[in-house]
Structures are given as structure tokens and as C-alpha cells.
Structure 1
């Protein structure tokens, strides 16, 4: 399947029709499919009627919910890649509502058995306390016009997935990410206590990459590997989604490389506790 910008409209219509036909063939109602995908029923309807162009992540969630075979899934994902650039503008997320982004992330987390988080700059939402979360979500420019209450509630709700023992979570944090003073020292101390607590969950591994360690590669950006399906990359202006198996292999190898330079278990907790006490000393 080749990329032909002149046929973009036709390819979008083909994708919408194919998803609608598959949903009908499965016997699922639009409402039931929406529940399985973590979407609203109105969004499913807009996708099927071509009023909303689904992201590649949306299409993957729908195909997973419908149990589509791998060959057909690859074809439709290729069509989605052509019809939709795999990039989500952060401004579009704000316009749609930050709470919808939390639903999308929750659906991704629900659909993966193992998730690897590489966090060189900031803590993942699954690890954040409410106070840290609020500071992280409110933009420094025009903060008065950003209501994050619903998004924070959903982000806290997402954290319940950590208690699902059928899933495995691997968090790899640089010292810079842990010690970056996003909030007041007292809030930072509590946030680091939260890290220590989560690190003890039986289905969680947490590694720390200290600044004192000599590492022959640089932690360029945050990324998350969802099982064997996709990698997301966080940028200042949006999010990239990669699905090529070679890209997934590359990011899994990167994660393993940085893991090999990190400390885990009691050694990691000792560092985090020390940094927490440093923040308390500044409070």
C-alpha cells in the first residue's frame, strides 16, 4: 500500500467503511464497542461515518476490541497510517479536552500485558501524586484558562491499573527526572515517597539511572513501549506513535541498554529516599 496524498479523502472513507463493516460483522453495537475501546459512543459513530479521522492508536484499539486477525489488522493499520499522520498535536488534545487523552492512555494500558516507561525528564502519570500532577498539567502560559480537574480525576483513576497483577510495569527513571524540582520541596518529598511505595508492588520494577554513571548514549526523550504493539514518544508539541517492528525492537533494545546501566530494588529505593530527605531539608 503506497502513500498517495491525492487519494487521502478516498482512503479515509475506505477506512471508515471497513471499521463499520467489521463492527457490524462482530455483532457488537457501537455503544458496546466504545466501552471496550475506552471511547465515547459518539466518537465511534463519528469514526464510522467519516466525520472524525481516527488516529492509528484509535484504529488499533478498535481492531483489538473486535478481535481482527493479524493479516487484516496489518492492512487496516497501513491504511490508517496513510490516512492519518501518526502525530497528535498537543494543542488538539487541549481543544478536545485533556480528559479524553486520559481515556486514550487508559485504553492503551488496559490492552497491554507489559509496559516499559523510559522517563528521562518527568515522572509518568501512573506515578504522580495529585499535587505533582496538577503542576505538571497546567501550562505555564495562560494557566487561568486551563481546567484540569476532570483530567486529574481520570489520571488518578488510571493508577488503579498498577494493582492488576496480570500486568507488568517497568519504570526506568533518570536521576534528573526524579530530582527535577517541578513543585515546592515539600510536595517533591511526598512525590518521591510515592515512588518508593510503588517500587514495592510485586508487578513493578523501578530502576534509577544515576548521573554519576558513565553512559555511552544519551536519554533524548521519553518513550513508552506497550507490549509488542506500539511505542509512543512524547514531545513538547505532541506525541508520535511508532508501529514498525524494527522501531519496536530498537526501543526495546534501548530500554534494555539503559536498564543495564541502572540500579534497582533496595539500591534504587535508597537513592530515592536520600533525595526525598534532601527535599524535606529544603522545605
Structure 2
């Protein structure tokens, strides 16, 4: 079953309707199905009414409890995966106004307690100097001052000690010359400074030795419930627990290969000094 990004929102309603239809075709009441699945009847009702998005595991339990054929199980599972995935294309985000995206991110940060960032080729806004943020937005037309202000305002969350942050930067992200050398040195100095916050762990994954995996994108994990993946064309939002778990495992591997603490700060200071020498 192939679904395109524009169908992702509709798939949530389609999944609810499919599960309700399957139950009725099996001649089961909501209460009987709930007992077979070891769920509450109220949860079955909320799933079928679209008030609760069924997890992929929930979908499999429901369909097997109704003796659904494997073809239907495969179709519904694919639909569930799509329902747990949101695609935000960059063109649409620009039309809405990218400052709106900053408000959405601030909401995610407010409602989450632990954050894991893997930064493949650029430094994230939470760690960026104003000059770096401005340079990262230079390809956009018009006045970006409002967006820059929103990004800088979000940095306050770093000083909330009830939140825990882990940032892993590839060596490419550290060294990519997005701004002139003097500004890049200042940016690296900021990384060293932020790394000393008590609730922040900052690591650098050096391009040496043997690293058995190769992440393809920048991604952020919020607690253990949601992952966002940034691409050139837009952002994927993944809520399926298996997708989140896969990114947690990838993050763990990268963390084991990262320079951390004083080792990371030494590496960053050396890069900053090299930029100043330019």
C-alpha cells in the first residue's frame, strides 16, 4: 500500500474507519473485542472514533483478534505507520511563516523533558550565535529579523535545569564554514560555553577511526515518544514507537563514538583557534 505525503492526515481517519469496519465484519461488539485484545472498551471506542491514534502494536492486536487475513493486516499496518508520520514540506512552512514553526518547536520543548540532537552538517539554533542564525537563513527572501528573534528566544530553554539536553555534532557540522572564520571561531566558543551547563552534554563525532554506521540526516528525539528528521525538502515527524526506538539506538551508537566533556571542549577550542589563524 503506497501513500503519498499529502495523504498522511487523511490516513488517521481511514485507519479508524478500517478498524471499526473489521470489528463489525467479525460480528464482535466493542466489549468483546476489548476482552480479546486485553484493552479497555473505552480505548477501543476512542480508537474507532478517531479520538485516539492506535499504535501499530494496537492495530496488530485488534486485527489478529478479529482473525483478519494477513493481507488486511499488512495493509492496516502500513496505514498505521503512515498515520504516525507527518511530513512538513519547506514550501508550506515558508508560506505559513517560519516563525510559526518556532512556536511549534517551543511547544515541543515545553512539554518534553529530555532532548537528543544529532547534528550532521549544521549547528542547531539552540546552540547558535546570532551571526550563525542569520547566515543559516540567508537563502530566504525578505526580512528575517522576527524569525531570528524567535530562534534566540528559544535558547532560554537551555537554562531550565528540569530539562536534559544531549547534542552530538559531527566533525562536519563543527567545521562547515557557514560564516566567515572570525564569526565561526565565536560560534565554536559558544559551543564550549554551553557544554558547561549542568543539564547539557555536548559531544563531537570525529571523522576518524571506524564508525560502523552512517546517519543520513539531522534528527532530534523528544523524550522517547517523538522524532523529527530534517531533510533539504522538509521535516518528517515520526511518532511510531519503533521509528523512535531505531533513532534512539542510532543515537546511542554515535554517542559511544563521540568525544565528550573535556575531550570535546579541547577539540572545539582547537577548531576555534584554527579559524582565528585564518
Give me the TM-score of the superposition, normalised by structure 2.
0.72
Contact preservation (8 Å) 2:85, 2:238: no
Contact preservation (8 Å) 1:114, 1:226: yes
Answering whether residue 159 of structure 2 is matched by residue 163 of structure 1, we say yes
Structure 2, unpaired ranges of 5+: 17-42, 55-78
C-alpha offsets along residues 163-191 of structure 1, whole Å, 9 cap, x if unaligned? Answer: 00001000001111000000100110000
Return the offset for 1:157. Answer: 0.4
Give me the TM-score of the superposition, normalised by structure 1.
0.71
1:193 to 189, 200, 204: 189
Return the offset for 1:195. Answer: 0.1
Corresponding position of 1:247: 243
Contact preservation (8 Å) 1:213, 1:261: no
Dislocated runs of 4+, deviation >2 Å: 7-12, 71-85
C-alpha offsets along residues 1-26 of structure 1, whole Å, 9 cap, x if unaligned? Answer: xx9x7x949949x9xxxxxxxxxxxx
Q: RMSD of the TM alignment (CA)?
A: 2.9
C-alpha offsets along residues 23-53 of structure 1, whole Å, 9 cap, x if unaligned? Answer: xxxxxxxxxxxxxxxxxxxxxxxxxxxxxxx
Contact preservation (8 Å) 2:218, 2:230: yes
Structure 1, unpaired ranges of 5+: 15-68
Contact preservation (8 Å) 1:188, 1:279: yes
2:169 to 165, 169, 173: 173
Corresponding position of 2:92: 92
Contact preservation (8 Å) 1:138, 1:146: no
Aligned residues: 220
Structure-2 change in CA distance of 1:98 and 1:213 (3 Å): same
C-alpha offsets along residues 72-119 of structure 1, whole Å, 9 cap, x if unaligned? Answer: 589533599867961001011111111111111111111111000001
Which entry has the higher C-alpha Rg, 1 or 2?
2
Corresponding position of 1:237: 233
Corresponding position of 2:53: 77
Structure-2 change in CA distance of 1:85 and 1:247 (3 Å): closer
Structure-2 change in CA distance of 1:206 and 1:77 (3 Å): same
Structure-2 change in CA distance of 1:206 and 1:9 (3 Å): closer
CA distance in 2, matches of 1:176, 1:217: 16
1:147 to 143, 146, 153: 143
Return the offset for 1:268. Answer: 0.3
